[in-house]
Amino acid sequence: MADAPAGGAVAGRGGRRPATYAHRGSSGAAPENTAAAFERAIAEGADYIETDVQLSADGELVIIHDVTLARTTDARLTFADRAPWNVHDLTLTELRKLDAGGWYDEDFTGQRILTLDELLDLLGGRVGLNLELKSPAANPGLAHAVAARLRPRRDWIEPGAQPLVVGSFDEQAVRDFHALLPDVPVALIAYDVPTSGKLTELAEWAFSVNPDIRRLRPEDAARVVEAGMAVVPWTVDSPELWRWALDLGAAGMITNYPYALRNMLRGRDPVPGAGVVVQDIRHHSPGDEPPRAGEHVVLRNVSAQPVDVSGWYLRSQSSARIVVGDGYVLPPGGLLRVHTGPGRDDATTYHNGRTTAVWNGTHGDSAGLHRADGTLVDLYAYIV
C-alpha cells in the first residue's frame, strides 16, 4: 500500500477526524472546477480539493469534468459550429475564451477554465489535492502527461509536501501514473467495491478505493479497510449519508458542501436551518406522460411561523438550479411541491417550466436548499 498523504486523516474509526474532500471545489456554492469554487472550499476549511484533469487539442492539461464543454461553459455560443464541443477538440487558446461560470449564476460570469499549473499555484500550500485522471480513453497519454507536469513540482511530490492523491475510474491509467511517480498515493475510483481478491492486489500499491456512496455496503467498506486501504466515498451530500459513511469507517468523504460536512464533523449543526426542509424528491411519478414529467421536490415548513420562500432555490448534485417563484408563503406545517417542468401553478404547487428532467432516477441524487441570498438551509439525499 502507498504511504498516506502527509497531513490527511486516514482512519475513520482510528480516532482521527475523516478528511473533507471538496467535490470540484465547493460546487454547492460556486461553479464547479473554477477558481471561485476552489477559493470557497479553502475558505470553508476543506482538507482536499477534488478535481478533474483532461487534455486540450494541443496537449495542455486543463481542469474540467465533462468530456464535452456544453454543460459548464458557453461553448455552444462561442463556438456554435464546433459541436459536440469536446474538450480535446479545442486548443488552450480557444478554451480560454470560454466563460465557465455564468451557466451556474450570473454573479460568476467570467470564471475561466484553469490549467493544471494554474491550479497548483492557486492551491499553494493551503490545501491538499485529489486529482482525477478524467476519461483517459478520450485523453490518450493523460497519465504520462500529468506525471511529467508534476515531476518538477517538488512542492507537491517531495516527502512532507502538500497532500496529493491521483486517481481514476480507469485502473490502467492509475497503474501507468503509479509506475511513473510511485511515491504519489493513488486511488481507484469505482461504482462498486472490487472483489476481495482484487482488493488484495490493489493494496500492494494503492492508497484508497473511492466508491459510490449509494452502492456502498457495510461489508464492502470493511473489506477495503481490512485490505489496508482507505475508503473515501463519493459524492456524499447529506447529514444522513455523512453519518452512514462514518459508521462504515470512511477515512474521508467527497462532498459538494465541505463547510456543512466540516461543521458536522466538529459537532456543530451542518446548516443553520430556516424553518423549511426538503421532505422528499420525486424523481418519477407513476403515470407520468411523458416519463418523469411529474418529478418534483416537496418542501415543508417545520416551524411555527409562516415562511416566505420566494426566490429560494434548490441545486441538484450536478448543480442544476430550480428556483421557487414569487409569492409563495408556507404556513406552519404547509407543503409546497416544486416541479421541474411546466404545469399550472396554485397555492401549493410551483412549476419551473424546464424542458428536461433534473433529478437522477438511476442511483439517486441530492438537493441543497438555499435562501434567495444563497444561504444553505437544508440538505437532502435519496437512494434509488
Q: Where are the alpha helices (DSSP H) in 87-153?
A: 92-95, 116-123, 142-150
Per the annotation, the verdict on 65 as an active-site residue is: yes
> What confidence score (pLDDT) does residue 2 get?
44
Per the annotation, the verdict on 351 as an active-site residue is: no
pLDDT tens column, 214-226: 999 999 999 999 9
* Same domain (yes/no): 25, 115: yes
> What confidence score (pLDDT) does residue 159 get?
81
> What confidence score (pLDDT) does residue 126 get?
96
Identify any residues that bridge with 86 across adjacent strands, giving them in sequence order. 68
The residue from 233, 265, 297 where one domain ends is 265
Identify any residues that bridge with 313 across adjacent strands, giving them in sequence order. 323, 370
Give the C-alpha separation, 378 to 277, whole Å: 6
* Same domain (yes/no): 291, 368: yes
* Same domain (yes/no): 116, 211: yes
Q: What is each CA distance from 348 to 44, 124, 283, 351, in whole angstroms?
A: 35, 49, 18, 10
- 234 DSSP 8-state letter: B
DSSP, collapsed to helix, strand or coil, labels residue 376 as strand
Buried b / exposed e over 11-39, threshold 16 CB at 10 Å, is bbeeeeebbbbbbbbbbbbbbbbbbbbbb
Identify any residues that bridge with 339 across adjacent strands, giving them in sequence order. 296, 351
Which of 65, 88, 283, 296 is flagged as catalytic? 65
> What confidence score (pLDDT) does residue 356 get?
85
CA atoms within 13 A on the CB side of 163: 23
Identify any residues that bridge with 132 across adjacent strands, giving them in sequence order. 52, 167
Q: Count of domains in the chain?
A: 2
* Same domain (yes/no): 261, 296: no
Averaged pLDDT for residues 311-340:
96
Residue 44 lies in a domain: yes
Give the C-alpha separation, 227 to 229, whole Å: 6
Give the C-alpha separation, 282 to 294, whole Å: 8
DSSP, collapsed to helix, strand or coil, labels residue 131 as strand
- The answer to whether the CB of 176 falls within 8 A of the CB of 143 is yes
Averaged pLDDT for residues 356-379:
94
Grid coordinates standing for 244?
Answer: 452512514
> What confidence score (pLDDT) does residue 361 get?
83
* Same domain (yes/no): 213, 347: no
Residue 167 lies in a domain: yes
* Same domain (yes/no): 85, 161: yes
Q: In what order do the strands lie in the sheet with 321-323?
A: 321-323, 313-316, 364-370, 376-383
pLDDT tens column, 261-289: 999 999 999 999 999 999 999 997 655 66
Q: How much is the mean pLDDT over the chain?
A: 93
Largest CA distance in the chain: 62
| Residue 355: pLDDT over 70 | yes
Q: What percent of the chain has pLDDT over 90?
A: 88
- The answer to whether the CB of 44 falls within 8 A of the CB of 159 is no
* Same domain (yes/no): 280, 361: yes
The residue from 244, 265, 286 where one domain ends is 265
* Same domain (yes/no): 260, 320: no
Q: Could you tell me the CATH number of the domain that includes residue 293?
A: 2.60.40.1260
The residue from 204, 230, 265 where one domain ends is 265
Averaged pLDDT for residues 307-333:
97
> What confidence score (pLDDT) does residue 293 get?
67
* Same domain (yes/no): 217, 290: no
Q: Could you tell me the CATH number of the domain that includes residue 196?
A: 3.20.20.190
> What confidence score (pLDDT) does residue 15 get?
64
CA angle 262, 323, 375 (to 5 degrees): 30
At residue 211, φ and ψ (nearest 5 deg) are -95, 165
> What confidence score (pLDDT) does residue 290 get?
63
The pTM of the whole model exceeds 0.75: yes
Averaged pLDDT for residues 290-295:
70
Is residue 157 exposed (0-12), middle (13-18) or buried (19+ Cβ within 10 Å)?
A: middle
Residue 11 lies in a domain: no
Is residue 342 exposed (0-12), middle (13-18) or buried (19+ Cβ within 10 Å)?
A: exposed
Residue 1 lies in a domain: no
| Residue 38: pLDDT over 70 | yes
Residue 142's domain spans which residues?
A: 19-265
CA atoms within 13 A on the CB side of 94: 20
CA-closest candidate to residue 153, choices 169, 170, 138, 131: 131
> What confidence score (pLDDT) does residue 331 get?
97
- The answer to whether the CB of 202 falls within 8 A of the CB of 188 is yes
* Same domain (yes/no): 286, 219: no
Give the C-alpha separation, 276 to 330, whole Å: 9
Averaged pLDDT for residues 37-44:
98
* Same domain (yes/no): 229, 143: yes
* Same domain (yes/no): 369, 254: no
3-state helix, strand, coil in the chain (%, to 5): 25, 25, 50
> What confidence score (pLDDT) does residue 70 get?
97
pLDDT tens column, 156-215: 998 888 999 999 999 999 999 999 999 999 999 999 999 999 999 999 999 999 999 999
Question: Sign of dihedral through CA atoms 130, 136, 138, 142?
Answer: positive
Which of 23, 88, 283, 370 is flagged as catalytic? 23
Residue 124 lies in a domain: yes
Grid coordinates standing for 226?
Answer: 481490512
> What confidence score (pLDDT) does residue 13 get?
56
Residue 37 lies in a domain: yes
> What confidence score (pLDDT) does residue 8 get?
37
